[in-house]
Every structure is written in C-alpha cells, then in structure tokens.
Amino acid sequence: MRKNLQNIKLDTTGLQKQEAPKSVDTAEGISIQSHYTAKAIETAKHLDFAAGIPPYLRGPYSTMYTQKPWTIRQYAGFSTAAESNTFYKRNLAAGQNALSVAFDLATHRGYDSDHERVIGDVGKAGVAIDTVEDMIALFSGIPLDSISVSMTMNGAILPILAFYIVAAEAQDIPVSALAGTIQNDILKEFMVRNTYIYPPAPSMAIVADILKYTSTYMPKFNGISISGYHMLEAGASCDIELAYTLADGLEYLRTGINAGIPVDTLAPRLSFFWGIGMNHFMEIAKLRAARVLWAKIVKQFQPENPKSLALRAHCQTSGWSLTAQDPHTNIARTTVEAMAAVFGGTQSLHTNALDEAMALPTDASARIARNTQLYILKETQITKTIDPWGGSFYVEKLTHDLIQKSWQLLQDIERLGGMTKAIATGKPKAKIEAAAAKKQAKIDAGEDIIVGVNAFNAEKAHLISTLEIDTEAVRLEQIKRLKTVKAQRNNAKVKEALAKLTKAAETLKSNAYKTNAAPTNLLQLTINAARVRATLGEISNALEQVFGRHEAPVALASGVYKTTLKDNNSAFNKAKALVERLIAETGRPPKILVSKIGQDGHDRGAKVIATAYTDIGFKVEMAPLFLTPKEVTRLALEKDVDVLGISSQVAGHKTLIPQVVKALESQNRSDIMVIVGGVIPKKDYSFLKDAGAAAVFGPGSKISDTAIHILEKLLALNA
C-alpha cells in the first residue's frame, strides 16, 4: 500500500542530541568544521563572481565545459624517439587529442647520451633527444600544425624548443602555426625538481628571451607554463603550492615586462600547471582561489584586455599519492583526483597510470588512465554545469580561506624581494621540505591514512607487470645516431653557430644578465645552431662555458619529523634506543650518507629520510645531487660512513647500484652497508640484493622501521 509522503514524519530527536564532531585542522592550517551554513561564507567576497568575467573564479570561459570540454593530454615519453612516436600515435587514435612530452633526465640536464654522467639515465624517465633528427623522429607522421604539443622542459629548454621548431620546418610548417606550451619554469627547479643547468640569473635571462621570441613569432604557443605540480609532489600543502606558484608567475610577469613585452601581450600567454592530490575539496578550492589571486596580481600592471587577468590551468593527478601496494587501487585514486581537477575547472588534464608508483606506464595502464577522463567526460554529465560546486558553503569557505592564507604566503615572498631573491635565501625550499617531513611523520604514525600502506593492508602483495627499459640498448642506439649526425653535418658551420652562442652569453654576463642585454635572442641563435645539426649537449656546453653549472647548497631540516610524531610512537622510540645501544658499543652514533646518483633530482624521499634519521639519532651526511657511482663512493669514504643510503626514483637502480657496490669493493670497503630505497618494482629487489645491496625499501616503507632494520644489522656486525 502506497503511503502519502505528506503524512510521513522524520524523527530527528536522536540526531539533535548528538554532539557535533570537533573541527579538524588540515596541512594548510585551515580548520574543517563538522557542518557549514550560510553564516560560514558571510565574509567571503567572491560569491558573485561569474565564469568568463574577471576575476574568473568559476572559470576563464563563460560557458566552460558546456560548450567545450577540457583537453585530454597524457604525459608520455620513453626509450627512443621512434618508440615514443609509436606510443603517441596509438594514444591519439584512441581518443587523446593533444601530446605532452616527457624527456629523459640526460636531456633535461643538457647532456648528450654519450656523456659519462648519464650511463644509467638514457631513455629511462622519458624520451632521449640528442639532435634535431631525434625530434623529427619523435613527431614523424604527427602534423604539428594541428596537434597541440606540451613539453615539460626547463634546463635544456633552448635546444629542445629549437629542435621542435626545426622539426616543424622539416614538415614545411611555419613557426607561427605551432600550438602548445613549453614549461620554461626554471624557478621551481631551484626549489623542488632540480633539473636545472645554469645558475638563477642566466636562467632567468633565458626565460626572458624565450618569452620575447614566442610572443613575437608564435601566437598560438605559450612560452611558459608555471608549475605548482612539482611543489605538491615534493611535499607542499595546497596553500604553499598556490602561493609559491603564483609568486613564480609574478616574477615571470615582471621579467617579461622588463624585457619590453606589453602586459596585454604577455599575460594571456601565461598558463599554469597544478598538481591534484587526494584532499578532494581542497583541490577544487585551490583552482578557484588561484584564478582570483592571479587576477589580483595581474591587475596591478594595469592591463587593458580583461583576458590578461584570466588564469588558464593544466592539471595532473598526483604521482606521489599512488601506492606500490595493491596498485589497482590507484585507479580509484586517480579518478578522485581527476574529478577534483574537473570540478575545479581545469583547461587540460593528465591522469597518471596505476603502475607509476613502480615504473613508467605500460600500454594497458596508460589506456586505463586516459579512459578515466573519457568516462568522466562522456558518462557523468559533469560537463552540463558551470562550476558544479559553486554555492556549496563548504567549498566556498575553503576557497575563501585558501585565498587568505595563500595571499599571506605570497606577501612573505614579496617582502624578501620576489621569488628569485627568496630562493637565494633557501626559505621556500625549506618550507616545502618541512611540510614533506611532517606529512611523512603523520603517515608513519597512522594519523594520515593511506589505504593498503598503513591501514587495511592486503594479506598478500599484488605484483603486476611493469614496463622496463633496456637503458644500455637505448644508450647505444642514441650514440649510433649521434655519430651519424656528426658525420653528415658541416662541422665548420656547427663551430661557428656555437661560437655565436658563447659570444652572446658573454655579452649577457658582462651586462649582469639584464633581459635586454643580448645583441641577438638566445633562442634564435640556438635555432640557427640546430639547423646545422649542433647537438643538445654541444649547445648546452656552449652556454655552460660562460654561465657555469649550478650547484645547489646542501641543507637539512631537523626536529620536524620528531615533533610531529607522538611521544609514545613505539617504532620511533625503539629506533632511538637502538642508536643509544650502538653508541654504547662503538663510541659514536651510526653514520649514514644519503644520496641520489645519476641525474635524478627528485629528492623529496632522500630529504625526508635524512631529516627523520637525524631525529632518530644518526649522524647524517647529505650528498650533493647528480653524483656518479664513483663520486658517491669517494664521498662515502671521505665521510667514513657505516651506511650508504641511495634513493632511486627513475629506474636507474639496476645500472647504478651494482656500480656503487663494485666501486666500494675496489676500495676494500665492502663493510659499508649499501641500502636502496624509492620507486623500485618488487621484482627488482632480489636483483639488487644479489648485486650487493643489504636491504631494499620500497614505496610506503615506514621510516622508523627502516631505521630499526639497519640498526639491527649494524649491531649484528659489531657483535
């Protein structure tokens, strides 16, 4: 019998008696309440803002996805240019509508594949590009006048952008027809990602020349994409990522204007690149807050075109949030993060694959990642509404709070003289590293839940097949291609073109790197060198002779990990007790050298380990970045350490770790224990142990537990 709904009464007595949960503080220092009403947003000033109208809170375009959805990109590149080209074509045929190119670390750092420093890095974390011929092969059969190309490149940006332009010329495509973006965000490299080549001052002069060239000759191409993604991945909370990324944007805006580019020419061509983590509603609020703050920043330069105030965003789901344990659950994580990017109003999106906590994605996992966007686009009806969470008391309050907090942080940077000067103080980098250490401590203590890592763990590890690159085969193939190019070119013309680059660099340096000091644009000179087939390494070296190579100072935070953990954390206390026992037996604390080797600059894990081990009681030495196996061995001997800890993220471990072990053996120091940690597939553990590693700690390992394992081994050796 159907009941009349009007006669049904809801008994809320029990609910009214329940005590409201207490508020929860986030990493951003924002207090999350148990419930929100209209009163929560009474002081918010952004509520009447519309999409397509400054300050663009609800999106840079008035109709947003109702007329045109976001662009589906997949960040990809591996092995040789030919293999990556095949991969790109499959993705384009399957529904991807733009390309996003990942380059290997040798390329990022300005080395040709035959350089001794990149033996373990060629083709591993991206595609190897040494010459124009490689770039031509990368885009073979892909019309560059109709496919938008995004390139994540900062250090070796001059040769890479020049190669791209010359590769288009090989397709008879003029530079004016090229559409896409190149990252060109060198400031964040000095804070987090570390794929720089030259020091900050000449690097900013290069940024200015690229902005001048692209704004003059490439109307469809964005000469810079200002990245917060790598800050998020390095440990920054949303307010820090937001503030520091916008501070970088402000610095680039000033740089371009000082170089003579009008604000209404420059500002509409700047784009932003955000990371999207698992704090779902905070991420939605972050994108909305970013647009309001950027409009406020640009407005001070008095643009006449309202489009100059609009922030356009590319987003990528977090790689750090992915877990190696039960990796199929990463599909859900990526989906949640992708939804946040879409709800926040991104203009393009990359979704990470389920296996990227261990290796580069396979074809199958890349398809799942790409199709995740297609499901959201085609099946959810999300695109039918502009700003779906607009009006939500919760999301509007988060947006308001992020605007306030991030603006305060941005003003802190301004008081230091802007981001370039702030970076020189080390304060932005230190703040991000402290946030990372605090986050790891909360995970290790079980306060922040990572399903399958510190809670709800699977009874049995679930192994999956991962993509593996034969680095040596790729390196030999690249060397062969290099030799062919050098044999067929006019070396006198190459020498002349490189000499002009060096001369222009000398002029810049003598004029204190003023943005209008170079007699000829550096990118134009690099294009000329590329046309005569100068290599990426030769071009980079022509500038390095004058600019030098940047070497970042080594600094460690202490106390953050310890103070975040509770006093009764049993694992931490056990590790400290083992240190005290070892001191009693040997007369000194255990000494560890924490190192990256090869060209991998992603040092979040290494820095967190070093910070935590310091708090546990180890004597910690932190190695400079980019050492070879021989160099890190020499440093371990100089520091007289008990343990050499090597952090790996980009799959060079099977090449580089055996070299370290052999180098120690050659010095009769096999007593130094080699420990390996980082993004390492489970199937490689036995290989590394057979090669001489005493222990391997994969993603998700609790730091205190790793310390206990090492200390027990040291005590056994001293027994």
Tokens at residue 143, please? Answer: 């019309």
Distances (CA, A) of 124 to 113, 120, 646, 695: 12, 8, 18, 23
Q: What is the edge-to-edge ordering of all strands in the sheet holding 695-697?
A: 619-622, 591-595, 643-648, 673-678, 695-697
Q: Is residue 600 annotated as a catalytic residue, yes or no? A: yes
Nearest CA to 382 out of 349, 423, 419 is that of 349
**Residue in 111, 198, 229, 244 annotated catalytic:** 229
Q: Among candidates 65, 220, 226, which has minimal Cα distance to 147?
A: 220
- Token code pair at residue 107: 């390329």
Q: Is 485 exposed, middle or buried (0-12, 13-18, 19+ CB in 10 A)?
A: middle
Cα gap 239→279, rounded to integer Å = 12
Residue 350 known to be catalytic = no
Instruction: Choose, from 600, 615, 642, 684, the residue flagged as catalytic.
Output: 600
Active-site entry in 108, 124, 431, 602 = 602
Q: Say if CB 595 and CB 634 are below 8 A apart.
A: no
**Residue among 75, 88, 196, 198 flagged as catalytic:** 75
Which one from 188, 286, 439, 596 is the annotated catalytic residue? 596
- Check if the beta carbon of residue 236 is closer than 8 Å to that of residue 275: no
Decide if 602 is catalytic: yes
The dihedral through the CA atoms of 688, 690, 696, 699 has a sign that is positive
- List the beta bridge partners of residue 501: none
Cross-strand pairs, 226: 272
Query: Is-contact 318 354, C-beta < 8 A?
Result: no
Closest CA to 706 of 581, 637, 609: 609
**Catalytic pick among 230, 400, 439, 653:** 230
For the record, the structure tokens of 690 come out as: 């057979």
**Lookup: tokens for 529:** 């060198």
Is 562 noted as a catalytic residue in this protein?
A: no
425 burial class (0-12, 13-18, 19+ CB within 10 angstroms)? exposed
HSE of 714, CA atoms in CB hemisphere, 13 A: 30
What's the rounded Cα separation, in Å, for the pair 120 and 78?
A: 14
Catalytic residue ranges: 75, 229-230, 596, 600, 602
